[in-house]
Structure 1
Amino acid sequence: MFWTILIAVLFALDQVTKAYVRDNLPLGVRNEVIPGFFYFTHVENTGAAFGILKNGRYFFIILTVIICGILIYVMIKNKQKLLRLAISFILAGAAGNWIDRVIRGKVTDFFDFYIFGYDYPVFNVADICINIGTFLLVFFVLFIYKEPKKENAAAEDLMAGAGEDDE
């Protein structure tokens, strides 16, 4: 239940911020927040992250459903809290951008940073959720996940048994 609420809260935060930007900041307008560093800029993205694969709406709609289905299955089967947290963030972000693609045909982005003179691609709350979730997932896989011992033990028993038959 906690994970469902977390996903719903993150999804709602994404949708509310996007609606606010669409209603209050004309498309293409840039509002300076921190001079030379951070702006609110209303852009519409028909592609994926950073505008790649423009006009891939139906591809991304289908791909998102497939990936979310797999993630939900993994989340249900695994009780590891960090893994569930990672998947919750990814699901919330994916759902936020997915609903934009389904209903509007494009994703609203508005966080605009200039970092060390580089104009970083504009992004939204859903993108932040996906990145946090992906970071947590990579951390989990690299530093926490362990292969189940039952499968390894069964394989070792099988190998040990094979050696005894050869004698």
Structure 2
Amino acid sequence: MVKPVKTVKISDVRSERQGEALLRYYLFAIAILLLDQSTKWLVMKKMHLYESIPLWQGVFHITSHRNRGAAFGILQDQRWLFIVVTLIVLTAIVFYLVRIGKSQPLLSWSLACILGGAIGNLVDRIRFSEVVDFLDFRYINFAIFNIADAAICIGVGLMVIVTLRQTETDESDNNSSEKRGIVSE
């Protein structure tokens, strides 16, 4: 008996690959969230508020700290504003990830970093009305932050790189089109 040949559409294969890529990005965001929340849990369970443990005296400490505002403590006690803005940003990131998925991997990884970090800080704001911070780089006298903050900064940094590279590519394409006498509108 001959088995019938299954026909596979190219669009089905692309859709499956797109789904696999999205799954990787979401799993990465979940890994960031889990790392962020587990480290914050450890700090809250094992340390008193404002307690500091020097890992490298005067350079890097683990310091139990809370932040009721945004970066560097700005907009203190604006919990609901942060929750609403974060939910809007998360919705936009999920929408954009679905839209670009596999076509722009570096941008997608940057969005996954931001997604994981934003959810991590959102969980804190909902549960505690503040964000748990503990990474204290004293050598450069920097604000105390957490894994979620670091992931957000890395994601934004990657987005800047993607944007700059895209701008360079667009300018290069425009210059070569002009040299060939092609005018775009």
**TM-score normalised over the length of structure 1:** 0.84
Partner of 1:35: 57
Structure 1 residue matching 2:31: 3-state secondary structure: helix
Structure 1 residue matching 2:65: 3-state secondary structure: strand
Structure 1 residue matching 2:61: 3-state secondary structure: strand
The letter of the residue matching 1:20 is L
1:1-167 matched pairs, under 5 angstroms: 1-78=23-100, 79-115=103-139, 118-144=140-166
Structure 1 residue matching 2:132: 3-state secondary structure: strand
Structure 2 residue matching 1:144: 3-state secondary structure: helix
* 1:86 CA displacement: 0.2
Structure 1: how far apart are the matches of 2:52 and 2:123? 25
* 1:70 CA displacement: 1.1
Structure 1: how far apart are the matches of 2:96 and 2:164? 17
- What runs of 5+ residues in structure 1 fail to find an aligned partner? 150-155, 160-167
The letter of the residue matching 1:68 is L
Structure 2 residue matching 1:66: 3-state secondary structure: helix
* 1:144 CA displacement: 3.2
Structure 2 residue matching 1:93: 3-state secondary structure: helix
Structure 2 residue matching 1:119: 3-state secondary structure: coil
- What runs of 5+ residues in structure 2 fail to find an aligned partner? 1-22, 174-182
How many residue pairs are counted as aligned between the two chains? 149
**TM-score normalised over the length of structure 2:** 0.76
Q: CA RMSD in A?
A: 1.6
After superposition, the C-alpha distances for 1:104-132 in whole angstroms (9 at most, x for unaligned) are: 111000000123xx421100000010011
Runs of 4+ in 1 over 3 A off after TM superposition: 144-147
Structure 1: how far apart are the matches of 2:40 and 2:138? 21
Structure 2: how far apart are the matches of 1:15 and 1:48? 18
Structure 2: how far apart are the matches of 1:114 and 1:99? 27
* 1:3 CA displacement: 0.9
After superposition, the C-alpha distances for 1:77-118 in whole angstroms (9 at most, x for unaligned) are: 112100100000000000000010011111000000123xx4
Structure 2: how far apart are the matches of 1:142 and 1:77? 21
